[in-house]
Structure 1
Amino acid sequence: MTAILEKTLYTGQTRTTGGRDGQGKSSDGELAVRLSPPGSGRPGTNPEQLLGVGWSACFIGALRRAGQAQSIRLPDDVAVAADIALGNTADGGFALAAKLTVELPGLATDDKARLVEAAHQLCPYSKATRGNIEVTFEIP
């Protein structure tokens, strides 16, 4: 099922040249990154790292919204670490997999699990990847 936007809240605009050996910039000038292939040792970041940062930031926002809905106050030091893996598939193609480690210090184990599940349903990045890539969670 494809989600249809009822109202656009924001549109991020970027332009990338050169692929994994290029650069990417946002239209507002706030983002300018040099790109390099993973493991190349050359200066720059890669699309997997950028996806991890974006997804983690969005997921924290979804955790906050889930916390409000469940009357659970999130700790000030909430954090999400993302491991985005790029790999080969059996058919010779490429695919991604993700592991999100969600740090919610001071909360009860049951509360942590409920918040992560609710956030995974709310987060637009989670929705975009659901059913398309393997996603696992670690909740220490």
Structure 2
Amino acid sequence: MSSLKPPSPEWLDRYYGRDEQTLYTGRVSVTGGEAGHGRASGVVRSDDGALEVDLRLPGTLGGEGGGTNPEQLLAAAYASCFHGAMTLLAMRAGVKLVDARLDVAVNFSRDPVDGLFLLSARIDVHLPGIDRGFAAELIRNTERICPYAKMFRQGIEHVVALAPESSPLPGDD
């Protein structure tokens, strides 16, 4: 019997601080692998060792395939976070979701504005046995609280910086 349990719906309680309150930081490193190119042959490793994934360029983009790619990883992250937030909202409303499923597509596309690249995403939410009106409200409310949905809608604060030369790889400390 599994001991895995979802987090408490108390996670939905509002925070009223002045500054962002970091709850967790996921850290990974990507190296170029055999081709020296993160997207085509990279390796992703988390600092805690729980994740190690070979990246491969999909065959549809001219690659060899045989590994995952950034779009699949982003789709997995988006889907799992949205599913979790939706489940907490349903629990708070006293509704148990049974066999809920999210199908997520993240598109890597050509950008008609600058001629380079862009990402877009779509989530199809399957909620068998749930009233359609409640399901639509649940999805709208989940979009308001899921940080991945917020990121896709509003953008994300980010910094890109040159690291110090002596910076160790995550997990090497």
Same fold (TM over 0.5): yes
1:116 to 114, 119, 139: 139
Residue deviations 1:75-107, cap 9 Å, x none?
2x1111111111001121111111101111100
> Which residue identity does 2:53 align to in structure 1?
V
In the alignment, what sits opposite 1:35? 55
In the alignment, what sits opposite 1:136? none
Flag structure 2 segments of 5+ consecutive residues without an equivalent: 1-17, 33-37, 156-173
Q: Distance in 1 between matches of 2:19 and 2:126?
A: 31
In the alignment, what sits opposite 1:130? 153
> Which residue identity does 2:105 align to in structure 1?
D
In the alignment, what sits opposite 2:23? 9
Q: Percent identity?
A: 38
- Worse-matched range after superposition: 61-70 or 7-16: 61-70
**Structure number having the greater strand percentage:** 1
Deviation at 1:38, TM superposition (A): 2.6
**TM-score with structure 1 setting the length:** 0.84
Q: Distance in 2 between matches of 1:38 and 1:71?
A: 42
Residue deviations 1:25-52, cap 9 Å, x none?
1111111100011322332100000001
Q: Which has the larger radius of gyration?
A: 2
Give RMSD over aligned pairs: 1.6
In the alignment, what sits opposite 2:68? 45
**TM-score with structure 2 setting the length:** 0.69
